[in-house]
Amino acid sequence: MEHTLQMAIQSALDVASHIASDERLGEPETNRALFRLLVGINVISSGLAQRLSEMAGFRNVLVHGYDEVQVQIVEDVVRNHLGDLDEFISAVKRRLDR
């Protein structure tokens, strides 16, 4: 489950990076900052950017093993926060439809 969650978060980061590049928004200092760049061009809301930034931080824990991964946190993200990724997908689709 952790690997699939890691891949989903990484995919959102990759899409955000492509948008930032296409819009020539500059190079963000961190992965988390990618989502803040998208707020500036009205792709996503600041609330969604914050939630996705937290997911990006959790992805770092999964990938780099900064802390021991707690199963309860993974379960919480899967049960309660996958909608944030769905919301991001919808926002990107709206951008593409423009």
CATH code for the domain in which residue 30 is found: 1.20.120.580
Q: What is the pLDDT of residue 67?
A: 61
- Count structural domains, the chain: 1
Q: For 40-59, write each residue's pLDDT tens digit.
A: 999 999 999 999 998 888 88
Q: Burial level of 39, CB count in 10 A (0-12/13-18/19+)?
A: middle
**24 is an active site residue:** no
Write down the catalytic residue from 59, 79, 81, 98: 59
CB 37 within 8 A of CB 28: yes
> Which residue has better confidence, 25 or 1?
25
Q: What is the pLDDT of residue 5?
A: 85
**pTM, two decimal places:** 0.85
Q: What is the pLDDT of residue 65?
A: 65
Q: What is the pLDDT of residue 1?
A: 72
pLDDT band at 72 (very low <50, low <70, confident <90, very high): confident
Write down the catalytic residue from 3, 24, 64, 79: 64
Domain with 9 in it: 2-97
- What is the rounded CA–CA span in Å between residue 41 and residue 10? 21
**59 is an active site residue:** yes
